[in-house]
Amino acid sequence: MKAPSFLATSRPHVAVGIGADRVTAVSVARGGGTAVVTAHASESLPEGAVQPVLNGPNIADRPAVVGALRSVFERLGQRPRRVALAVPDTIGKVSLLRFEKVPARADDLEQLIRFQVRKAAPFRIEDAQVAWCPGAPLPGGGREFVVIVTRRDVVREYEGVCEAAGAHAGTVDLASLNAINAVLASHGRPQGDWLLVHVTPHYATMAILRDGDLIFYRNRGEEADGNLAGLAHQTAMYYEDRLGGAGFAKVVLIGSAAARAGMESGDWLRRNLQERLRADVEVVRPDRVRFADRIAIDQALFDLYSPLIGLLQR
């Protein structure tokens, strides 16, 4: 799946992730159609420096975040002028909009999408950054669209941090949408229905794809009621009752090493998900991605870097 982008230009070779507790970066080299990870770095942030929320300021300690990103670039061994940027899922609202008839003109489609998302956005649509991409086709010529809405000033906060560190964020996307791309790059394109479970210490996201099209997306922050197993059960029930699901061909977990309340280990999480979803759960592992010689990476770091690797392979 090619995820929608807030702003897209030619492909950079460095991706940056800014999250609630750390800044991360990876660089890749491309040749012969294959991307190879050549360097990676991660720097923790002071508590509260970044507060990734949908409707409010996000960068609470800008000097700390800029300093962490500069440190990451130094450890990366380069100072990129352009980067791709992955931001937390919790700063955006993802919707799947169905149109039985799709306007032929791009301007008319944009107006229709903005009119529809205006109803659900918790802020003025005039203050929103709206991005979309085509989703699953519908009988009779209609189509679903995957739409992301964020506050424009919130996106600018993250872009501004990159600019202060000397890099222009030419592409900005939500982390989990690019975790999907990481799965496609490491596993190939799964056939039929498959589920991504992306877990971080601060939120969890579940996304269902059908033949490459996103047909379900749900994010739950750490403050929400219920646990990940409950979210998995709700997702499975919705999939069967509302999406005509006949069973997942694949369930892929990114974030098996994430520390969340109630989780004893990555294996515990995987087994619990298998029980709830009634399907085998695979973990995306470092050996599925090409790394340059002498680069060693463990599962916890790979969980952090997967959305960045996916972002660079769009």
Q: How far apart are the first and last CA of the chain?
A: 8
Distance of CA 171 to the CA centre of its chain: 13
Q: Which residue has the higher pLDDT, 288 or 128?
A: 128
- Please say if the pLDDT value at position 276 is more than 90: no
Q: Which of 155, 259, 247 shows the shortest CA–CA distance to 204?
A: 259
Q: pLDDT, tens digit, for every residue of 212-231? A: 899 999 998 865 545 777 88
| pLDDT for the residue 314 | 75
Exposed / middle / buried, residue 53 (Cβ in 10 Å: 0-12, 13-18, 19+): middle
Tokens 């085998």, located at residue:
280
Average pLDDT for residues 61-69, to the nearest whole number?
Answer: 98
Please, what is the angle between helix 175-187 and helix 299-312, to 10°? 90
Q: What is the pLDDT of residue 262?
A: 43
Whether residue 289 is predicted with pLDDT greater than 90 in this model: the reply is no
In this structure, what is the dihedral angle of CA atoms 194, 185, 215, 20, given to the nearest 10 degrees?
Answer: 100
Mean pLDDT of all residues in 233-239: 91
Q: What is the mean pLDDT of the chain?
A: 88
User: How far apart (Å, rounded) are the C-alpha atoms in residues 250 and 275?
Assistant: 14
**Alpha carbons 49 and 46: distance in angstroms, whole number:** 6
Domains of the chain with CATH codes: 14-90+152-178+289-312 (3.30.420.40), 92-149 (3.30.1490), 188-284 (3.30.420.40)
Q: Is the pLDDT of residue 18 over 60?
A: yes
Task: Assess whether pLDDT exceeds 70 at residue 10.
Answer: no
75: pLDDT confidence band, cut at 50, 70 and 90? very high
Reduced to 3 states (helix: H, G, I; strand: E, B; else coil), residue 101 is: coil
C-alpha closest to that of 306 among 187, 191, 193, 221: 187
At 233, which amino acid appears?
Answer: H
Do the beta carbons of residue 79 and residue 73 sit within 8 Å?
A: yes
Q: Which of 5, 164, 21 is nearest to 85 (CA)?
A: 5
Burial, 182: exposed, middle or buried (Cβ in 10 Å; 0-12, 13-18, 19+)? buried
Encoded tokens for 78: 């380069």
Does the structure show a pLDDT above 70 at 264?
Answer: no
Between CA 172 and CA 10 the distance in angstroms is 13
Q: What is the pLDDT of residue 190?
A: 72
Q: Which two tokens stand for residue 176?
A: 């989990």
238 has pLDDT over 50: yes
pLDDT above 90: percentage of residues in the chain = 63
